[in-house]
Structure 1
Amino acid sequence: MSNVSEDILKKVKGWPGYVDAKYGFRNHWYPVMFSKDIAEGEVKKIKLLGEPLLVKRIDGKLHCIKDRCLHRGVPLSEKLDCMTKDTITCWYHAWTYKWETGELCDIMTNPSSAQIGRHKLKVYPVEEAKNCVFIFLGDGEPHPLAHDTPPEFLDDGLEILGIAREIKSNWRLGVENGFDPSHIYIHKDAILVQGNDLVLPLGFAPGEDRSKQTKVIADDSEGGRKGVYDLIGDASVPVFEGTIDGELVREGNYGSTLVANNISIWLPGVLKVNPWPNPDMMQFEWYVPVDENTHIYFQTLGKKCETEEEIKAYEHSFDHKWKKMALMGFNDDDIWAREAMVDFYADDKGWVNEILFEPDEAIVEWRKLADKHNKGIQTLENIKG
Structure 2
Amino acid sequence: MGGVSRVARKQSPGVLGDRRRWVLEGQVDVEPEAGGSTKSKGSRQFLKDKLPRAGLKEFWYPAARAKAVGEKPIAVKLLGDEVALFRDGGKVHAVHNRCPHRGLPMSMGKRHFPGTISCGYHGWTFDMKGNCVAALNEGPCSRLPGRVNLRTYPVEERSGIVWIFMGDKAPKPIEEDVPAELLDKDAITYFHVENWDFNWLPGLENLMDTHDLFVHRNSPFYLFTKIPAWAEVGSEVMADGRGVAYHYSKVGPLQEDYPGLGKWPKRVWWRRKRIAAPSGEYLTAELRLPGITRVGFTTLMFIRYMVPIDENSCRAFLFSTRRVTGIRALFYRAYYHLWASWSLLKLFIGQDTVVFGAQDYDAPEQLSAPDNGIIKWRRILASFAAAEAGQGDGGSGGRKISKIDVAAA
Is this a same-fold pair by TM over 0.5?
A: yes
Partner in structure 1 of residue 315 of structure 2: 296
Question: For 2:265, what is the secondary structure of its paired residue?
Answer: strand
Instruction: Evaluate the alpha carbon distance shift between residue 88 and residue 22 of structure 1 in structure 2; reply closer, same or farther with a 3 A threshold.
Output: same
**Quick one: which of 194, 202, 208 aligns to 1:179?**
208
Q: Does 1:320 align with 2:341?
A: no
Question: For 1:331, what is the secondary structure of its paired residue?
Answer: helix
**Superposed displacement of residue 89, structure 1:** 1.5
**Quick one: which of 233, 241, 260 aligns to 1:245?**
260
Please give the alpha-carbon distance, in whole angstroms, between the structure 1 residues aligned to 2:61 and 2:230.
Answer: 31
Instruction: Evaluate the alpha carbon distance shift between residue 43 and residue 313 of structure 1 in structure 2; reply closer, same or farther with a 3 A threshold.
Output: farther
Q: Is contact 1:171-1:294 (8 Å) kept? A: yes
Q: Does 1:259 align with 2:276?
A: yes
Partner in structure 1 of residue 301 of structure 2: 282
Question: For 1:290, what is the secondary structure of its paired residue?
Answer: strand
Q: Is contact 1:181-1:230 (8 Å) kept? A: no
**Superposed displacement of residue 316, structure 1:** 4.1
Instruction: Give me the CA root mean square deviation.
Output: 2.6
Partner in structure 2 of residue 381 of structure 1: none
- Greater RCO (CA < 8 Å, at least 6 residues apart): 1
Partner in structure 1 of residue 325 of structure 2: 306
**Quick one: which of 182, 185, 201 aligns to 2:228?**
201
More helix per residue: 1
Q: Is contact 1:45-1:54 (8 Å) kept? A: yes
Please give the alpha-carbon distance, in whole angstroms, between the structure 1 residues aligned to 2:267 and 2:47.
Answer: 34
Partner in structure 2 of residue 334 of structure 1: 352
**Superposed displacement of residue 227, structure 1:** 1.1
Please give the alpha-carbon distance, in whole angstroms, between the structure 2 residues aligned to 1:84 and 1:241.
Answer: 69
**Quick one: which of 96, 105, 114 aligns to 2:143?**
114
Q: Is contact 1:188-1:252 (8 Å) kept? A: no
**Superposed displacement of residue 246, structure 1:** 3.1
Please give the alpha-carbon distance, in whole angstroms, between the structure 1 residues aligned to 2:162 and 2:329.
Answer: 20
Matched letter for residue 200 of structure 1? I
Report 1:1-385 matches (<5 A). Answer: 12-14=45-47, 16-18=49-51, 21-38=52-69, 40-77=70-107, 79-98=108-127, 100-111=128-139, 112-150=141-179, 152-155=181-184, 157-194=186-223, 197-205=224-232, 213-219=234-240, 226-231=242-247, 233-234=248-249, 236-238=250-252, 240-241=254-255, 243=258, 245-251=260-266, 254-260=271-277, 261-275=283-297, 279-307=298-326, 311=329, 314-341=332-359, 344-345=360-361, 348=362, 350=363, 353-373=364-384, 376=388
Instruction: Evaluate the alpha carbon distance shift between residue 191 and residue 244 of structure 1 in structure 2; reply closer, same or farther with a 3 A threshold.
Output: farther
Partner in structure 1 of residue 23 of structure 2: none
Instruction: Give a deviation string over 1:192-225, Cα, whole Å, max 9, x none.
Output: 111xx2232344245xxxxxx1111153xxxxx7
Instruction: Evaluate the alpha carbon distance shift between residue 244 and residue 93 of structure 1 in structure 2; reply closer, same or farther with a 3 A threshold.
Output: farther
TM-score, normalized by length of structure 1? 0.80
**Superposed displacement of residue 134, structure 1:** 1.1
Larger Rg: 2
Please give the alpha-carbon distance, in whole angstroms, between the structure 1 residues aligned to 2:267 and 2:64.
Answer: 36
Partner in structure 2 of residue 210 of structure 1: none
**Superposed displacement of residue 132, structure 1:** 2.1
**Superposed displacement of residue 283, structure 1:** 0.5
Q: Is contact 2:228-2:251 (8 Å) kept? A: no
Instruction: Evaluate the alpha carbon distance shift between residue 227 and residue 109 of structure 1 in structure 2; reply closer, same or farther with a 3 A threshold.
Output: same
Matched letter for residue 105 of structure 1? V
The count of corresponding residues between Structure 1 and Structure 2 is 340
Instruction: Evaluate the alpha carbon distance shift between residue 310 and residue 64 of structure 1 in structure 2; reply closer, same or farther with a 3 A threshold.
Output: farther
Question: For 1:245, what is the secondary structure of its paired residue?
Answer: coil
Question: For 1:329, what is the secondary structure of its paired residue?
Answer: helix
Instruction: Evaluate the alpha carbon distance shift between residue 35 and residue 364 of structure 1 in structure 2; reply closer, same or farther with a 3 A threshold.
Output: same
Please give the alpha-carbon distance, in whole angstroms, between the structure 2 residues aligned to 1:251 and 1:60.
Answer: 57
**Superposed displacement of residue 311, structure 1:** 4.8
Q: Is contact 2:104-2:120 (8 Å) kept? A: no
Instruction: Give a deviation string over 1:52-90, Cα, whole Å, max 9, x none.
Output: 11111223321110100001122223x332223432221
Matched letter for residue 41 of structure 1? E
Matched letter for residue 332 of structure 1? G
Please give the alpha-carbon distance, in whole angstroms, between the structure 1 residues aligned to 2:330 and 2:126.
Answer: 42
Please give the alpha-carbon distance, in whole angstroms, between the structure 2 residues aligned to 1:363 and 1:88.
Answer: 44
Instruction: Evaluate the alpha carbon distance shift between residue 373 and residue 151 of structure 1 in structure 2; reply closer, same or farther with a 3 A threshold.
Output: farther
Instruction: Evaluate the alpha carbon distance shift between residue 25 and residue 218 of structure 1 in structure 2; reply closer, same or farther with a 3 A threshold.
Output: farther
Matched letter for residue 147 of structure 1? E
Instruction: Evaluate the alpha carbon distance shift between residue 84 and residue 305 of structure 1 in structure 2; reply closer, same or farther with a 3 A threshold.
Output: farther
**Superposed displacement of residue 300, structure 1:** 0.2
**Superposed displacement of residue 302, structure 1:** 0.7
Please give the alpha-carbon distance, in whole angstroms, between the structure 2 residues aligned to 1:69 and 1:182.
Answer: 46
Instruction: Evaluate the alpha carbon distance shift between residue 286 and residue 89 of structure 1 in structure 2; reply closer, same or farther with a 3 A threshold.
Output: same
TM-score, normalized by length of structure 2? 0.76
Instruction: Give a deviation string over 1:105-132, Cα, whole Å, max 9, x none.
Output: 1111112222212221111111122222
Q: Is contact 1:201-1:252 (8 Å) kept? A: no
